[in-house]
Structure 1
Amino acid sequence: MLFAYTYVPHTMEKMQSFIDFIFFEVWCKAPIGLAFSLDLFENEPDLREVLSAFGFATNAPERGKQFYKDIKAIYELFAPLTPKQIDRLNRWYQANNDIEKVCANDPAVQIARYADIAAIHPDLSGQLESFFKGLYSQQLLDLAALREKIGRIDEHYQAFMQANTTGKCPFCGITEMLGVYHTGREAYDHYLPKAIYPFNSINFRNLAPACHYCNSSYKLSKDPARNATGRRKAFYPYATDASPIEITVVLNTPDIDRLTPADIQLTFGPDTVREEIEAWKEVYGIDERYKAKCCDESSGKYWLTQVLDEWQEDERSPADFLITLNRQADKNPLADSSFLKSAFLKGCQRAGLFDVIAKEGAAP
């Protein structure tokens, strides 16, 4: 990804703490043999209050009732498990929520998919899948009893965008994001897809706002942490030591008017994050999208027009334009897609396009 987000603490994190309590202090202790009741939640009074409203209030909303029923059903499926099975689920839960180490492909962190749970307990896998996929839903999060404890996700988004002010999607760098001056918001992407991984669907370190194209057109349920050959490294959306991405554009044609994606080669660096780059490119369709932008009339071809028309009218050379552009790209690479614009125009220069068109412009 082009840059990492700054993580923003918020009361919404309390929902994950509720789920942590349910998992470790209720489900994992089910084999002790206690009957399921609100007494199991006495050490988490806010959660107990929510479950009381969902499970016992006469006007309890249907989605709240289902939340309560799901917790109870999973408790009953945990009850006959052996200590070894409980320990395995415990380790999987902790691993799946350590998003940074998952992205680093830390060998000490053994993540689990629903398929892994299904291999040893199909009924439990199905019930967990239903529960965790449903956690991140407005139908649940907007219920008054829960909302009073954790706040609103729209409030989290506003606080998030006040701290993350680039205005661009970090996964592609080319699409503007809805921010603090918009009434709407972008969707939160489940970086480790909730369709594949249990336990982390409401963990905000696994939730990152993404533009519509990255989230809904390209990534969908693609898995950054795994491909067909197995585990791999991926960029962590909240890394504090993110490396800037280097892009080189090579054009295989001197004719800008006939430029197609097949005429463009893209090289990315640095090599120190080669594996992360390959995962990023695959998941977000980066090659296709950057090549398309370079070929677009309003982007790549317009960028070249700027060099050859506007700057030559001021009696300034294309080389001068590139020097200025490179300075701008260093200061603010995301403004006007300068990170790609600069790489593309350098590619045009190497391909001789500046010289070709300059000669054409000098002809009588």
Structure 2
Amino acid sequence: MTLCRDVAPVESPHPAPGDTWTMIAGAQQRESSALPLAPSPAAAELDRVRSAVTCALTEFLDDQRETLAAMDDSLVPVADEVRALADGGKRLRPLFAYWGWRGARREGAEDDAAVLRAVAALEFVHASALVHDDVMDGALTRRGRPATHVGFAAQHGHHRLTGDGASFGVGAAILVGDLSLVWSDELLRRSGISPAALTRAREVWDTMRTEVTAGQYLDLLRAAGGLPGAQGALTVARYKSAGYTVQRPLQLGAAIAGAGAQVTDAYSAIGLPLGEAFQLRDDVLGVFGDPAVTGKSADDDLREGKQTLLIALAEEAADAGGRRLLARMLGNPDAGPADFDALRRLIESTGARAMVEQRIAQRTELARTAIAEAPVAEDARAALDALAVAATTRTA
């Protein structure tokens, strides 16, 4: 088992006004600075938390791989797939949860390393959602590699197994997603936080997992013609992604800290608009992002027919020809690059992209105002503000 050395938190002052840090592809850079500068204490803390989460996941997955291998060697690819899903990523959910705890913690009540292990469990919830979402969307890639169901279908062919390879891949992916969700519970339980903190955390944890599963269904329903229009897109965004990305992780940290209603409500005021802005940024990147940075084709969301706010607004503003183009090409597996470029031009020309960008900016500003007013420790306020910028200005 890999051993991770506990690293003490950096007790640091609030960064100077205007010293906002953005995280792009895992690195921090100071805004509007042309020269490389030494990282601020706030940036160093974000890196520390991200590294500690990765280490907690590695330790846990090393143990689980041994357990599955002892059952049968053929289970090793399952463990390795969960590891691949958990590798990389921005660690935003654990970061929000950790700083939700730091903002309201009582000195000595919980061990920092135990809290880091507890919030790392959020990455398994995220992995589960990604796998199941890719199955439902028929996505081909995820983070620059084949989507889980595609990878297992390829293994079926490589090993010359019997039956339908695509069905095997889908079945395997569903189980990988289920296993990730099981392991999220196990890592939270084994994290080492106190029994009282674990009991408090469970209420938020259960609500979060119910919401994200319900959100996946709402997404499926919208793809089939239910929940129409812009409001339908925002409803799906809230429950499928926004809540479990920011609001519930913040409240999970508050629950571990034993915070009262004032902090919990403040975290909702931060989390709901910021989570929405995060998801809307994801939607924009899904259509206009650089594949070399995002790790997926910019055509995938259009090929899969994702009914995002971008699409809803474009449909509302388009003329008859534009609506025909959307009806004919959005979600059409036979459409080609030229067709998707035409859809992108339509989204731009109708003003849909500009309207979504404006909403991202408005919701981000609302969240940052709530952060400034929240009854939390100053180091947490600085970190949460940096995370707000990172979540909504990212390029991947």
TM-score with structure 2 setting the length: 0.25
TM-score with structure 1 setting the length: 0.27
